[in-house]
Amino acid sequence: AKHFKLLVVGGGAGGLGAASKFARKLPKGSVGIVEPHEDHYYQPGFTLVGGGLMTLEANRRKEAKLIPRDATWIQNEVVLFTPTQNALTLKGGEDLSYDYMVIAMGAHLRFDKIKGALEALETSGVCSNYSPFHVEKHFQEVLTFKGGNAIYTYPNAPIKCAGAPQKACYITDSILRKRGVRDDAKLIYATSLNRIFGPESYIEPLEKVACEKEIEVKTRRNLIEVDSNSKTAIFEVLDVDGAPTGDTESLEYSLLHIGPPCSAPKALRSSPFADKTGFMDVDGETLQSKRFPNVFGVGDCMNTPNAKTAASVSSHLKTIDKNLSQVMLGKKPKSKYDGYASCPLVVSRNSAILAEFNPEGPLETTPFNQKKPSRWAYFLKRHILPALYWNGLIKGYWNGPGTMRKFTRMFKSE
Ligand code: FAD
């Protein structure tokens, strides 16, 4: 089997960032990166693509161009992990071995968990900003929308960028108003949560946005089936703890935007790295695998309680940069991930609420009021963050705003 000192699994945001950092530290040829796809997408840009504010091409790069210079790209996918032998198997049967490994496989979209959804996505009116194959369709649907219900759903399962389904709904409101057809539309945000958004401190500002835009927020509604023949979305009604009550509600749609349930990729789910939810079982602070100390996790594939965002990946990278280096020297990992996540909630075609938080509460970077929709937060989302991703994060140079926050905090009273 071909051997690497460090094997990185996944060439998305976290995998490229980790490979870049360690390819600079280790001798040439020490780092291997397994990633099957030829195209790499800046997924946070999908919200803007679905709103006609950016093209899909602008968010796409060839993976080959992004692989760090001194690392080796293995264009294949992992099908089996054998960590007791520090080895893994690729599709086709080839084995690779490693001294250390970073798992950065992301979260998989599971439209298949909603009855009829995969088929419905191929019919008119049904779309999702989450998939590069259905994101442009969303914008087309909004442009040709003639009237009726436009429904935006949020699943009863982990999801990356938990704010994205409601961002899509807000931008749609703006476009329909601009087109002069807003009066013919009923906009519904149907979420399985018992509130509009998880993190407490952004609930009030978001409820205000939804109210001003006349969007009906239906809580405790989990999409379980799409019938594309009758254009009906069927929801199970949940109780306050998120358990099904046994009741269902059916809503007709003209436009249905599906926020897909997400799960860990199959090879990870069935491996000794997974916990019972299927996500990678890591120490929530050091990001080290609980069972295999020579393996670390980065990004959406872990079972850490943070919101799954590219912004979190920056803080994960800062943590594993130090911890994996320590472990390579035979020392104990000491650096701790602070739980940081961020979600610029685009609320119109030119404004956003810049949510930054960890599971304990807000963790805001700027000295300004981030709970109020602003043009500067939209500018950051549209122009600064993509540049930071392409030139900083995936190149292993952006470690998150933690240091900046220590400085700006001196100017902010909370
Ligand atoms: P990914 O970037 O998804 O990469 C995982 C990689 O692993 C993929 O390239 C995949 O091909 C590869 N892989 C999977 N299985 C295997 C296998 N078996 N073998 C080898 N490779 C494998 N984040 C923000 O911070 N702000 C936002 O505003 C924001 N908006 C979003 C909007 C949308 C619509 C979406 C979809 C996401 C958004 N995100 C946002 C989330 C962000 O894109 C993810 O959190 C981030 O990409 C996670 O990085 P990752 O490396 O963990 O996973």
Residue nearest to atom 4 of ligand 1 (CA): 12
Q: How far is the CA of 107 from the centre of ligand 1 (A)?
A: 6
Q: Is 244 helix (H, G, I), strand (E, B) or coil?
A: strand
Residue nearest to atom 53 of ligand 1 (CA): 106
Query: What residues act catalytically?
Result: 161, 343
* Average pLDDT rounded to a whole number, residues 173-196: 98
d(CA 8, CA 313): 15
Q: Which atom of ligand 1 is nearest to the CA of 342?
A: 25
Residue 407 has pLDDT above 90, yes or no: no
ipTM of the complex: 0.99
* Average pLDDT rounded to a whole number, residues 27-56: 98
> Which is it for the CA torsion 179, 180, 186, 191, positive or negative?
positive
* pTM for this model (two decimals): 0.98
pLDDT, tens digit (0-9, with 9 covering 90-100), for 189-210: 999 999 999 999 999 999 999 9
Residue among 309, 319, 363, 383 whose CB has most ligand 1 atoms within 8 A, to mutate: 309
Mean per-residue pLDDT over the chain, rounded: 97
pLDDT, tens digit (0-9, with 9 covering 90-100), for 361-402: 999 999 999 999 999 999 999 999 999 999 999 999 999 999
Which residue in this structure is represented by tokens 């999409």?
Answer: 223
CB of 261 shorter than 6 A to ligand 1? no
Which residue in this structure is represented by tokens 């909630």?
Answer: 345
CB of 105 shorter than 6 A to ligand 1? yes
The pLDDT value given to residue 414? 52
pLDDT, tens digit (0-9, with 9 covering 90-100), for 124-155: 999 999 999 999 999 999 999 999 999 999 99
Q: Which atom of ligand 1 is nearest to the CA of 105?
A: 7
Residues 342, 309: contact at Cβ < 8 Å?
Answer: yes
Residue 245 has pLDDT above 70, yes or no: yes
Residue among 95, 134, 161 whose CB has most ligand 1 atoms within 8 A, to mutate: 161
* Average pLDDT rounded to a whole number, residues 321-349: 98
Name the pairing type of β-strands 126-127 and 221-227.
Answer: unpaired
The confidence band for 182, taking pLDDT boundaries of 50, 70 and 90, is very high
The pLDDT value given to residue 411? 73
Q: Give the CA count within 13 Å in the CB-facing half-sphere of 256.
A: 26
Domains of the chain (ranges, CATH numbers): 2-107+264-339 (3.50.50.60), 116-262 (3.50.50.60)
* Average pLDDT rounded to a whole number, residues 176-183: 98
